[in-house]
Amino acid sequence: MVRPIKPRRVIFDPNVTYFKPRAIPLSELEEVDLGRDELEALRFCDFKDLDQVETAKKMKISQSTLQRILSSARKKVAEALVKGKAIKIRKK
């Protein structure tokens, strides 16, 4: 049996839900889905320069779970930048 996902504490609610390359209609772009927990991890670690232990405590998850979330988020953002894809921030 699969272990249930532990709820993650996400405080930040972005006003913007899409980022895309300029001059290309959204309908013509592929999308990369970025979860709110992934955005929160990026915000704390990369934007606010908090270390992973402190960020994990704020999000009420383990440091190893944070590392997996952060790796996934960074890979998705890099893919969008390199391949010219839109980034969609999921609301839930």
Instruction: Name the band, by pLDDT with cuts 50, 70 and 90, for residue 8.
Output: confident
Q: What is the pLDDT of residue 15?
A: 81
Q: Is residue 8 part of a domain?
A: no
User: For the chain, what is the domain count?
Assistant: 1
Question: Could you list the residue range(s) of the whole structural domain that residue 55 is in?
Answer: 19-89
Q: Is residue 49 part of a domain?
A: yes
pLDDT digits (tens, 9 = 90+) for 48-74: 999 999 999 999 999 999 999 999 999
Q: Judging by beta carbons within 10 Å of its beta carbon (0-12, 13-18, 19+), is residue 70 exposed, middle or buried?
A: buried
Q: What is the pLDDT of residue 92?
A: 63
Q: Is residue 13 part of a domain?
A: no
Average confidence (pLDDT) over 19-31: 92
Q: Is residue 9 part of a domain?
A: no
pTM for the complete prediction? 0.83
* CATH code of residue 53: 1.10.10.10
pLDDT digits (tens, 9 = 90+) for 76-92: 999 999 999 999 998 76
Q: Is residue 27 part of a domain?
A: yes
Please name which of 2, 24, 4, 8 lies closest in space to residue 68, comparing C-alpha atoms: 8
